[in-house]
Every structure is written in C-alpha cells, then in structure tokens.
Structure 1
Amino acid sequence: MKKVNLVFGTVYGGAQYVAEMLEQALLELGRETCLYQPEQLVGFVPPEDELLLIICSTTGQGDLPDDIQPWFNEMKSKAPYLPKLKFGLIGLGDSSYETYCGAAEQLLGLFEELGAKQLGEFLKIDAGETMEPEVEALAWLPCWNLLIDTELAA
C-alpha cells in the first residue's frame, strides 16, 4: 500500500482545510498518509515510491501562496528527476479571474518538468460555484483512490 504525502499552499486556510479533510478520508480508506505543514517542506523531495497529493489555492495574478512558494522555488532550482513519482492535484481558485487556478497550474508544470506523472484528473474548484471546496474534493477522492489501486495492480 503506497503512502500518500499531502502538501498544501494556502492564503486564508481553505486549501489547508481541504488537505486535512482529504487526509482524514484517506486514513478512513486505509491509506497511510503524511500531511506536510509548510515549514516541513524545506528540503522535502517527494519519494518516488510514495504518492503526492497537492492542494493549492491561487492568489494575486495566478501566484502561489507565500507558504508554498519557497518549496516551489527549491524544487525548481534543485530540479530532481522524479520519473516514477505519481501525483494528484487540486486547485482552488475563482473562475471570474483570467488566472483561474494559476498557482496549481504552475505546480502541474513544475512536476511535469521533473518527470512526474499526474494520476487522475486535475480538480479545479471554483470559489464562484461553491463555498465548501472540501465537499468537491471529497467527491473527487474515491476516483483518485481507485486509480491508486489500479496503478498498484499494474
């Protein structure tokens, strides 16, 4: 059973709350998890034999939140090659902005550059459509969890 490492970038706490809800749901599904706080990301390179789930809100003009920016920069500058890493991505944003989910898009681009493979669909949660992003994330999770099992069986 592969461990799921959860990483979040948040401005007002929404992405953190979603990450905490997903961690609990994954534990209930029998998964081993680790939810990384922003200060724990210094020097963290996701192990390729584990899974990564990134939950990130967008701020400004498609910018990364301040709490995840240092890790993003560190991963970009170190550029570890991660061809066996599988990751999931959830972006929180507002579709009335041109840069909707821009921070999560940056993370997607970075991890693809590092050779990692996206597992499942990139979930974009629109603040203009829902006041409870955790509900959409929890609805998405069973499909992602099934893909993990399919991946492990292959």
Structure 2
Amino acid sequence: MASVEIIIGTVYGSAVLVAESLADALEQAGHQARLHEDVTLSELDRSRFWLVVTSTTGQGDVPPNLLPLFEEMRETCPPAPELQYALVALGDSSYDNFCGAGRQFDELLRELQAKAVVDRLEVDACETLEPEEPALEWLKGWVEKL
C-alpha cells in the first residue's frame, strides 16, 4: 500500500477537515497518511505520494501556513519527475480568483515536472457546505492508482 503526505493550506479550518476526512478514507483503504499543516520541503518525502488540500485567501493567495513551502519549492526545488500527486482546491466562486491557491500550487508542481494522477478537484463554497463530501467522492475515483 501507499504512503501519502497530505499537505494542508488552511485559513479557517475547512481544508483541515477535508484533509482529515481524506486521511481517514486512505487509512481505511490500507494506506498510510501523514498530515502536515506547517512543513518545509526537507520534512517531506518526494518518494511518497503527495495530496495537497488548500483553501484560498485574499485575492487568490496561498494561505499563510502553506506560503513558506510554496516559496521554498518555487525558489529552490529541483525538478521532481518522480513525484506523484493529487490536489484539492477549496474556494468561493463569488471571488475573482476562484481556487487561486490550488491553481498556483498545481501549476508549480507541474513546472517541477511532478505527475498529477488525476485532475485537480475544485470545491466551490457557494455550492457545498461540506467540502469533504465531494472530496471523498473524488478520492474514490482514483485511489486504486496508488
């Protein structure tokens, strides 16, 4: 079974709830999951699968707790073609930069040659009150790829 690094970008806690729900589902499927809210690149294992769950703040910005990792990766990370990942972006479509943080992080990972195993999930707070529900459905569609 797979070992998964779950990287969380959160402002008000919604991303944490989604990440915890996904971690529980992964563990029930026999995988190992480690949650990270404040993490540096050196603390993450690129041989493990990465699952990024992030909300968006401000004008489509990366949440403050995820920003140091994002900047570290952008400035110092070498290409990582061995890295496989999936990404959940939380946002509110009433704002101009809907899911901006998730889109930026996804773009950065692709620039680093990481491989997405599934298309990014974008969850709109205007459409769902419980973002973990669409995230769990999304996970069911690709968890067998781990």
TM-score by length of 2: 0.95
Structure 1 residue corresponding to 2:137, chosen from 136, 139, 152: 139
Structure 1 residue corresponding to 2:60, chosen from 34, 59, 62: 62
- Mark the runs of 5 or more structure 2 residues left unpaired by the alignment: none
The answer as to 2:8 corresponding to 1:8 is yes
Residue 40 (structure 2) aligns with: 42
Higher helix share: 1
Instruction: Specify the code of the residue in structure 1 equivalent to 2:120.
Output: F
Structure 2 residue corresponding to 1:90, chosen from 66, 85, 88: 88
Structure 1 residue matching 2:42: 3-state secondary structure:
coil
Kept in 1: contact 2:7–2:53 (CA 8 A)? yes
RMSD: 1.2
Change (3 A) 1:25 1:110: same
Question: Following TM superposition, by how much is the alpha carbon of 1:46 offset from its aligned partner in structure 2, in angstroms?
Answer: 4.1
Kept in 1: contact 2:9–2:37 (CA 8 A)? no
In 2, the alpha carbon distance for the partners of 1:136 and 1:68 equals: 22
- State the identity as a percent: 42
Question: Following TM superposition, by how much is the alpha carbon of 1:45 offset from its aligned partner in structure 2, in angstroms?
Answer: 6.1
Change (3 A) 1:43 1:118: closer
Kept in 2: contact 1:6–1:33 (CA 8 A)? yes
Kept in 2: contact 1:21–1:134 (CA 8 A)? yes
- After superposition, what is the alpha-carbon deviation per residue over 1:79-136, rounded to whole angstroms, capped at 9, x for unaligned? 2221011100000001122201000011011111111011112100000000100111
Change (3 A) 1:17 1:44: farther
Structure 2 residue matching 1:60: 3-state secondary structure:
coil
TM-score by length of 1: 0.90
Question: Following TM superposition, by how much is the alpha carbon of 1:34 offset from its aligned partner in structure 2, in angstroms?
Answer: 1.0
- Mark the runs of 5 or more structure 1 residues left unpaired by the alignment: 149-154
Kept in 1: contact 2:37–2:66 (CA 8 A)? no
Report how many aligned residue pairs link the two structures: 146
Instruction: Specify the code of the residue in structure 2 equivalent to 1:141.
Output: L
